[in-house]
Structures are given as structure tokens and as C-alpha cells.
Chain A
Amino acid sequence: MNLARFYDRPDVYLIVAAFLLALGIYGLLRRRTLIGMLIAGELIFSSASLNFMALNRFLAPDPAVGQIVVLFIMGLAAAEVAIALSIVIAVYRNYRSVDTSDLSELKG
């Protein structure tokens, strides 16, 4: 395998995307504040985008489709961040904390 053409193969991109997905899942499980969990969710969005772009570049017959899908993912991620952060601020105003272990009013 020629070392200099390493970036013209889909393998590295797919492995980086899988690594970002695993990091995002680990962060979602480990983070204790809502904002930390939101950041981990953004990592998962990024991994999905990278996967779309890699398969779009190397395997899709029409390379414009994947870029449009990734644009839509970015738009949805922006909308999600706006809503989630406003919920975080509303929660902080009511509870004076965004720690997930404090938000246990509905816990059985």
C-alpha cells in the first residue's frame, strides 16, 4: 500500500468516524451535567457526518447527495443545540443546577 495515497481510501475516515461515535457514547454515559451530554451528542452528529462524507466520496454515484445530507445534518444539529441550551437555561433557573443527579423529581 502506497503511504502517500493513504487519504484516498475510505478506511481511515470510517475508523475515525467509529472512534468519534464511541467517544460520544462514552461521554453520554459518563458526563454528569446536561451541557457535557450535549457536547457528547454533537460528537455523535459529527461522526455521522464524517461517515456520510466518506461513503459519498468513494462509493456514491452522485457526490452531491452526501454533501446535501451533511448540510441537513448540520442544520438539524444547530436547531437541536438551540432548543437544548434553552432547556438547560430554563432548568438552571428552576433548580439552580444542571447536574443530572439533581433533576430527580420524577424519579420513582
Chain B
Amino acid sequence: MNPFPGAGILAFIIFCVCVATTVAGGLLAVFTVRIIRSVCGLALCCIGLAGLYYFLHSPFLALMEILIYVGAVCVTIIFAVMLAEPEENVSREGRARDLVWMVSAVLLAGVVFYAVSRLGLSGPWPAPPAPPGDASVKAIGISLLTTYSLAFELISLVLLVAILGALVIARSGRTKP
């Protein structure tokens, strides 16, 4: 006898909340005019994505998603918004041209969405393997330090170069009067 009779329904409701959070965050990130609301939408979208990662049996990546995206990327973008004060002013082109641009962007996005989701739903996926392998944090750590050690070292180099390059680019011209 199942000790928690409503557990399946509860998990389904939480899953729906996660999907709705992701979709609403994405919509907010794209369709709002003020850029700071767009950053908040990106943060909301990443929180929903963390929930989806949890449903995909990967709590480690859910934690990393919140830590890196919400904690680092969104905060950095907010810093840049405060430094650069971007304002989305109303279009300087004519209304008709703006409308044409908007319709073509919607059409392109719709075509991409239709094609990719159709590909995902109708693709001849192979059958899943019968015994699923080990997906624990321990297995991730072992393969990071054995099979993928070169990529692991390379990405640390990439991050180092990115930090130095960001410092150089953002500082140049600052000390000049």
C-alpha cells in the first residue's frame, strides 16, 4: 500500500508549476520593455529550469543552475544595467517598418518552434537502455577527472582568460581624464 496516496498528483502539480515558471520567465525576459524586468524574467526562467533539472534526476545541476545563473549571471547583468543605463526607446523607424520587422521575427520564431518541437516529438529515438547507468555526483566527479579531464582543464583556462580579458576591456580608457 502506498503510504502517500497523493504523491503522484503532488509531483504532477509541482512539475506543472516548474514548466509554467520557465515559460513565464522566458516570456517576461523577451517581451518586457524595461531591461531590468527582463533580467528578472531570466532569473525566474532559470529557477524554473532548476526545477525541471530536479525532475530529470539531477539535483546537482539544479543547484548549479541556481548558483551560476541566478547567483552570478543575473547579478552581473544587473551590474551592467546599472553601469550602462540602457533605455529601450521607442522605435525611430516608421511604424510600418517596425510592424514588418515584428511580423517577420514572430514568423521566424514560430517556424523554429514548430520545426524543433516536431523533430523532437516524431524523431525515431532509440529505445532507452535497460539498466540506467550511475548518474550520482560521485560518478560525475570521477568522469570529470578521468575521461573529461582535458576539457575540465581547458574550461578553467577559458574562464581565466575571460576574467583577464573582461578586466582589460572594461578598464581600458578609464584612467584617462
Interface residues of A (CB under 8 A from B): 3-7, 10-27, 29-36, 38-40, 42-43, 46, 49-51, 53-54, 56-65, 67-68, 70-72, 74-83, 85-90, 92-94, 98-99, 101
Interface residues of B (CB under 8 A from A): 8-9, 11-12, 15, 19, 22-23, 26-27, 29-30, 35, 38-39, 41-42, 45-46, 49, 52-53, 55-58, 60-61, 64-65, 68-69, 72-73, 76-77, 79-81, 83-84, 86-89, 91-92, 101-102, 104-106, 108-110, 112-113, 116-117, 120-121, 125-126, 128-129, 132-135, 139-140, 143-144, 148, 151, 155, 158-159, 161-163, 165-167, 169-170, 172-174
Whether B140 pairs with A53 at a CB distance below 8 angstroms is: no
Q: Is the CB of A75 within 8 A of B174?
A: no
Nearest B residue to A65 via CB reads: B143
3 A-B pairs closest in CB distance = A14-B120, A4-B8, A63-B135
CA distance A93 to B129 in the complex (A): 55
Chain B positions within 8 Å of A5 at CB level: 8
Is B42 in contact with A42, judged by CB distance below 8 angstroms?
yes
- A74 and B86: CB pair below 8 A? no
Q: B22 — which chain A residues lie within 8 A by C-beta?
A: 16, 20
Cβ contact within 8 Å between A74 and B84:
no
Q: Can you list 20 A-B contacts (CB < 8 A)?
A: A4-B8, A6-B15, A7-B55, A14-B120, A22-B113, A22-B116, A24-B30, A27-B29, A30-B102, A31-B88, A33-B87, A34-B86, A46-B49, A53-B56, A56-B56, A63-B132, A63-B134, A80-B162, A89-B169, A90-B169
Main secondary structure, interface of B, reads helix
Query: Smallest Cβ distance from B101 to chain A, in angstroms?
Result: 7
Interface SS of chain A: helix
User: Could you tell me if A23 and B29 are in contact, using CB atoms closer than 8 angstroms?
Assistant: yes
8 further interface pairs, Cβ-Cβ under 8 Å (given A39-B29, A85-B77): A4-B12, A14-B120, A16-B52, A33-B88, A42-B42, A53-B53, A77-B73, A79-B161
Q: Are B49 and A49 in contact (CB under 8 A)?
A: yes
Q: Is the Cβ of A35 less than 8 Å from the Cβ of B86?
A: yes
Which residues of chain A are near B57, meaning CB under 8 Å?
Answer: 57, 63
Contacting pair A6 B135 (CB below 8 A): no
CB neighbours of A67 from chain B (8 A): 58, 60-61, 135, 140
With known contacts A33-B88, A53-B58, A89-B80, A64–B110 Cβ distance under 8 A? no
**Interchain CB contact under 8 A, B169 and A81:** no
Given A7-B12, A79-B159, A29–B81 Cβ distance below 8 Å? no
